[in-house]
């Protein structure tokens, strides 16, 4: 049974997740204004985004060890404080170097804040309540990338760019006060020493791969550094994988991938997150670059993804209980792919109602599938290994969402080459390529046991 304290803690972590995800993308639409204010080219502001995502990617694996060593309450409160103070530093930054340093500090706070917060909640959740608790935590991560474009546009139009970060200050203060009251102190454990080799290999590999993705997104970068950095990062991650499987006390517990439902969910959700995160990036570009819509109108249409996310929430758990995880995942992954392809075929002559319905549908499918993935992934994981599973899941999610925007940019480049400079066709190709990742998740879902997650579902009374 989920009591009020447990539910409120889950909602607190959800709010922190929202802040973290929002800060990953809100800067994009404000890049020209920030560049003008700091007297640097707008393209240089890409480093502000990359520094944040890079820090998140490389430090999330260490969050599990820190929580064991110093206690979840202490680490979670420290993470909120670091994130909030770094946001204040971003707001007061007056040159690019200081802003990048503050963004790195934000990433340090974010890398600990959400994974540790999730562990606080999930470690105290019964298997029968896992589906409901996961749904509380997941939806803010779906909303933030959708709200970010219009939020960034409105803030920079009617206020000033420092408020992009200033809005985190009151939110962070409230989150810290609520966490202080809700989260109980615990005895700090005496875990084995930190896996330094795993930390160096994993963090360097993830960092290099994330930065290579940024270089791909930067049209001014040559292919030689991208290939060299990307290739070296893959080699490092290969060595890291071998080490993590063999180490007695690894940084990331990859042996959890031997749990079939966890392994299948990690692969499927990685592919699905790629499409989920790329959609809110491509849609505003399509609406503005091809349809000629204003930034505000484009942002308002994209908000219907949010409407779909929230509107379907009350029925997500009943759907999973009624049809099972495998069936729901197959349907949702196909549905998202179909809606993305259909949006790629739209033009400025397509009825606005149809575009809204397609956008709404994509939000519905996103919400259902990600709740299913996050729930079934942990269904067969023993309670004593929930902390390690949560750290690995958080790393996988962050890596997928961090690479998605760069992947969408690459898809646009490929589309441009195929279309021979015809912008409309280039976007169609990009939407189709991005949708293929969701179809890859469909293939993975078909391989899932039809009974996967049965212990998490509430069966009809007559079946008891």
Note the pLDDT tens digit of each residue in 395-445.
787 778 767 777 787 888 888 888 887 888 999 999 999 999 999 999 999
Q: Which of 306, 284, 274, 231 minimizes the C-alpha distance to 444?
A: 274
How do residues 204-233 score in pLDDT, each as one tens digit?
887 787 778 767 766 666 778 888 998 999
78, two tokens: 């420290």
CB atoms within 10 A of CB 338: 17
Is 434:452 a contact under the CB 8 Å cutoff?
no
258, two tokens: 């031997």
CB atoms within 10 A of CB 224: 8
How do residues 303-337 score in pLDDT, each as one tens digit?
888 888 878 888 888 888 888 899 999 999 999 99
Q: Which of 241, 310, 289 minimizes the C-alpha distance to 415?
A: 289
Burial environment of residue 409 by CB neighbours within 10 A (0 to 12, 13 to 18, 19 or more): buried
Alpha-carbon distance 312 to 48, whole Å? 34
Is 400:277 a contact under the CB 8 Å cutoff?
yes
User: What percent of the chain lies above the pLDDT cut of 90?
Assistant: 27
End-to-end CA distance of the chain: 18
pTM over 0.75: yes
């Amino acid at each position: 049974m989920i009591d009020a304290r447990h539910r409120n803690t889950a909602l607190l972590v959800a709010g922190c997740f929202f802040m973290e995800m929002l800060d990953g993308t809100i800067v994009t639409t404000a890049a020209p204004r920030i560049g003008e204010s700091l007297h640097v080219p707008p393209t240089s502001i890409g480093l502000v985004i990359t520094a944040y995502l890079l820090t998140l990617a490389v430090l999330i694996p260490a969050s599990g060890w820190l929580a064991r060593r110093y206690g979840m309450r202490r680490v979670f409160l420290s993470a909120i404080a670091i994130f909030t103070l770094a946001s204040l530093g971003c707001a007061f930054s007056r040159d690019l170097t200081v802003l990048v340093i503050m963004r790195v500090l934000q990433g340090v706070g974010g890398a600990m804040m959400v994974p540790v917060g999730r562990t606080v909640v999930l470690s105290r959740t019964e298997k029968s309540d896992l589906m409901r608790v996961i749904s509380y935590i997941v939806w803010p991560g779906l909303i933030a990338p959708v709200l970010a474009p219009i939020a960034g546009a409105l803030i920079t139009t009617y206020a000033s760019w420092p408020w992009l970060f200033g809005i985190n200050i009151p939110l962070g203060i409230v989150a810290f006060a609520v966490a202080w009251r809700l989260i109980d102190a615990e005895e700090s454990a005496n875990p084995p020493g930190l896996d330094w080799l795993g930390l160096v290999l994993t963090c360097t590999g993830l960092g290099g791969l994330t930065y290579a993705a940024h270089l791909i997104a930067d049209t001014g970068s040559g292919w030689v550094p991208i290939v060299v950095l990307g290739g070296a990062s893959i080699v490092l991650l290969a060595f890291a994988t071998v080490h993590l499987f063999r180490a007695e006390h690894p940084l990331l517990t990859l042996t959890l991938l031997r749990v079939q439902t966890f392994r299948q969910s990690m692969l499927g959700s990685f592919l699905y997150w790629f499409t989920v995160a790329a959609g809110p990036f491509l849609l505003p570009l399509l609406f503005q670059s091809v349809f000629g819509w204003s930034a505000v109108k484009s942002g308002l249409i994209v908000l219907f993804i949010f409407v779909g996310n929230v509107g379907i929430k009350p029925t997500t758990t009943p759907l999973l209980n009624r049809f099972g995880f495998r069936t729901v995942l197959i349907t949702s992954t196909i549905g998202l792919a179909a809606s993305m392809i259909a949006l790629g075929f739209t033009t400025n002559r397509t009825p606005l109602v149809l575009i809204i319905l397609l956008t709404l549908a994509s939000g519905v499918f996103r919400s259902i599938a990600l709740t299913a993935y996050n729930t079934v992934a942990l269904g067969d994981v023993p309670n004593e290994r929930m902390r390690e599973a949560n750290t690995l899941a958080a790393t996988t999610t962050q890596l997928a969402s961090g690479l998605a925007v760069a992947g969408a940019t690459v898809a646009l480049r490929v589309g441009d080459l195929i279309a021979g400079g015809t912008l409309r066709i280039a976007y169609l190709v990009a939407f189709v390529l991005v949708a293929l990742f969701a179809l890859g998740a469909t293939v993975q879902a078909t391989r899932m046991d039809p009974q996967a997650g049965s212990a998490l579902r509430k069966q009809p009374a007559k079946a008891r």
